């Protein structure tokens, strides 16, 4: 446990060397990086994966306004300081990707490289190419009141719905965004129903799933849902960065069948990615993979991360030799 920006954050850490911070998504926890933590540590990095603000054993402030992108990025930067480092490589998945890209955008002096999984550098979660309307207003107009991000806006309602049966709610979430469900296979074929519940996908063993159930049973969904309740507020707060670019070395990784392709303008080419992130080194599409990228295809994702890190270190060495 560490104290960052006046709140307690729970972290998992492993290894020694340059700092790499791994940021999870919704509805997950630090445990979503269980496959990558030892591999990155073995490659010579000090790897730190926090339960982010509102999640797991970390604190969940009471006010909705304490979950803005500034607060979330502030936790990353504060964590770097608490750990005694002057620079960091930030990697994130889903909402964690938005915070990783945001950390690079807002603190280019501290973030020396960035990786985003699933969520691209410009999205409704980090709108640095502003749309005419605030994102939730636009989603309500285009997708209706039953789109999940719209439904999450009303405090209390989503908490009650998701908290009635945490096991069932998490099963449905993980299964519905898993690979075969995204490629047109009937959901009941993708995950066999046993005793009235979806069977877990192969990539999520029962013991690992139980950790998620325990986390959200103990702590509820209020904190994580408050991230969504700041989407329009973030749109306003980031107005000064409209049109800005993320210039550090970066990598974008997305699953072939990730449902973010429906929600966000996912770049299809490296040139498209570089229009927002000129420092992008690669755009990696993971075959036979949907939204739960680093858990579904851990070996492919870990390989991409290690290749990116190796390239970044080589560039740093070359630049030092030139200077």
Average pLDDT over residues 93-110: 98
| Nearest residue to 171 (alpha-carbon basis) of 190, 152, 185 | 190
3-state secondary structure of 160: helix
pLDDT computed for residue 190 by the predictor? 44
pTM of the model: 0.94
Tens digits of residue pLDDT in 126-178: 999 988 899 999 999 999 999 999 999 999 999 998 999 999 999 989 988 88
Confidence of residue 188 (pLDDT cuts 50, 70, 90): very low
Cβ(25)–Cβ(50) below 8 Å: no
Q: Using N-to-C axis directions, what is the helix angle for 166-176 and 206-219, rounded to 10°? A: 130
Q: Give yes or no for residue 186 having a pLDDT over 60.
A: no
316 band by pLDDT with thresholds 50, 70 and 90: confident
- Show which residues are catalytic: 94, 291
195 has a pLDDT exceeding 60: no
Residues 40, 117 contacting (CB under 8 angstroms)? no
**pLDDT tens column, 205-223:** 999 999 999 999 999 999 9
Per-residue pLDDT, 284: 98
CB 221 within 8 A of CB 252: no
Instruction: Give per-residue pLDDT as tens, 265-307.
Output: 899 999 999 999 999 999 999 999 999 999 999 999 999 999 9
Can you tell me which residue has the tokens 């990730």?
258
Residue-averaged pLDDT of the chain: 92
CATH for 2-322?
3.40.50.1820
User: Cα-flanking dihedrals φ and ψ of residue 160, to 5°?
Assistant: -65, -45
Structure tokens at 162: 């998701």
DSSP symbol at 13: E
| CB-based contacts of 10, cutoff 8 Å, min separation 6 | 1, 30, 50, 51, 56, 57, 58
Residue 130 confidence (pLDDT): 85
d(CA 186, CA 52): 34
Give the DSSP letter of residue 52. P
pLDDT band for position 56 (cuts 50, 70, 90)? very high
Instruction: Tell me the CB-side half-sphere exposure of residue 184, using CA atoms within 13 A.
Output: 0
């Amino acid at each position: 446990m560490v104290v960052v920006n006046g709140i307690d954050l729970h972290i998992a850490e492993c290894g020694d060397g340059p700092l790499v911070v791994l940021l999870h998504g919704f509805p997950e926890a630090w445990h979503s990086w269980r496959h990558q933590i030892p591999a990155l540590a073995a490659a010579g990095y000090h790897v730190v994966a926090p339960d982010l603000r509102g999640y797991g054993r970390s604190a969940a402030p009471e006010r909705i306004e304490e979950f803005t992108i500034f607060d979330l990025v502030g936790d990353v930067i504060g964590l770097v300081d608490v750990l005694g480092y002057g620079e960091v490589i930030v990697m994130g998945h889903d909402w964690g990707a938005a915070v990783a890209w945001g950390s690079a955008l807002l603190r280019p002096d501290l973030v020396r490289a960035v990786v985003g999984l699933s969520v691209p550098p410009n999205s409704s979660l980090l709108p640095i190419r502003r749309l005419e309307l605030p994102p939730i207003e636009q989603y309500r107009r285009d997708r209706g009141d039953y789109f999940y991000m719209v439904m999450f806006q009303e405090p209390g309602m989503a908490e009650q719905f998701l908290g009635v049966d945490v096991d069932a709610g998490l099963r449905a979430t993980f299964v519905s965004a898993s690979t075969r469900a995204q490629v047109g296979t009937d959901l009941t074929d993708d995950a066999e129903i046993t005793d009235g519940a979806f069977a877990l996908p192969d990539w999520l063993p029962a013991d690992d799933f139980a950790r998620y159930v325990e986390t959200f049973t103990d702590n509820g969904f209020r904190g994580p849902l408050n991230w969504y309740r700041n989407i329009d507020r973030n749109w306003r707060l980031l107005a000064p960065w409209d049109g800005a670019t993320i210039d550090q070395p970066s990598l974008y990784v997305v699953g072939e069948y990730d449902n973010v392709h429906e929600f966000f303008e996912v770049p299809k080419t490296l040139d498209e990615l570089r229009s927002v992130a000129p420092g992008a080194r690669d755009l990696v599409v993971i075959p036979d993979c949907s939204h739960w990228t680093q858990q579904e295809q851990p070996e492919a994702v870990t390989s991409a991360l290690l290749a990116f890190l190796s390239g970044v270190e080589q560039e740093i060495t070359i630049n030092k030799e030139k200077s």
